[in-house]
Amino acid sequence: AKAHGRSCFRYFSDELTRAAEQRLDLEVRLQRALRLNELCLYFQPQIDISSNRIIGAEALVRWQDPAHGLISPAQFIPVAEETGLIKQLGEWVLLEACRQGKEWQQKGLPAINLAVNISPVQFRNSNILESVFNALKQTGYPASLLELELTESALMTHENEAVEILSALRKYGIRLAIDDFGTGYSSLAYLKRFPLDVLKIDKSFVDDIPHKKDDMEIAAAIVAMAHTLRLKVLAEGVETEEQLTFLKEQGCDCYQGYLMSPPVPADQFEQLLRAQAED
Ligand code: C2E
Ligand code: CA
Ligand code: CA
Ligand code: CA
């Protein structure tokens, strides 16, 4: 039993070492990617449900690694958060989103709202006001067309400080959205303390429409309660007409999802905007 225990331990520690090595490797490669500009942004349209028109886009980071191909943010954002690289990465995303937005504006495309994800670690540990103002100043992109997506966990740790930061951003004309709503611990009553504009219903409540009654009731309740707080509601991960119909019936304002389009590279998003401008 002893020998078995020892080999078990060795197996386990080898596994740990391998995991640590892989993470270190990823960290070093990510650092390099930032330096060599191997990251890019994809854009997913946000649709106004009543007019069925694109009114915005969420910017989503992608890593085109020459050796490993396209790496998903779900893989490298957590590493960036743990190593502190998220500050640099987050600043790059803000700057690049504003740069792209400005370019579209200069090309005469219809004005849309660009939504940028802010990691809770980035929100807590870096000067987010400075990063945002700097990106706007450097690019000339208007604050009124920028939206920041924050999660519940970003707001919950230092509540008073968070309220102050959000108020300063909002005063400047930036819109604020709460992302993945329903997956954290906060209630809508709690959200009332924060100066928010948009609530994004998490995809997990949309996935089983129209098959799961309780998810449908939750989605409906979120829409109704968000409206009493004067928040605009956007549903995430809408993939079917049935889901959209149900959300529309509930009075949901906007949606994002594969039904309209997955996240696409900037030039493809531009085509979507142009096609819409023509009709
Ligand atoms: P998120 O902010 O909740 O973004 C939505 C994710 O759902 C995106 O995955 C998007 O591609 C995916 N999605 C959208 N519509 C559908 C749909 O209809 N069906 C399905 N199955 N999926 C859909 P993505 O781009 O892989 O991003 C994953 C997560 O990584 C994001 O979740 C966000 O938390 C994080 N992330 C992405 N870009 C950034 C960034 O620039 N900064 C930070 N801090 N986090 C980012
Ligand atoms: Ca998001
Ligand atoms: Ca989300
Ligand atoms: Ca999510």
Structure confidence by residue, pLDDT tens digits, 221-262? 999 999 999 999 999 999 999 999 999 999 999 999 999 999
* Mutation pick for ligand 1 pocket among 60, 71, 198, 258 (CB with most ligand atoms within 8 Å): 60
ipTM: 0.97
Q: What percent of the chain has pLDDT over 70?
A: 96
Q: Is the CB of 93 under 6 A from ligand 1?
A: yes
Residue with tokens 């611990």: 185
- Its pTM stands at 0.93
Summarised one tens digit per residue, pLDDT across range 102-141 is 999 999 999 999 999 999 999 998 899 999 999 999 999 9
Q: Is the CB of 182 under 6 A from ligand 1?
A: no
Q: Is the CB of 48 under 6 A from ligand 1?
A: no
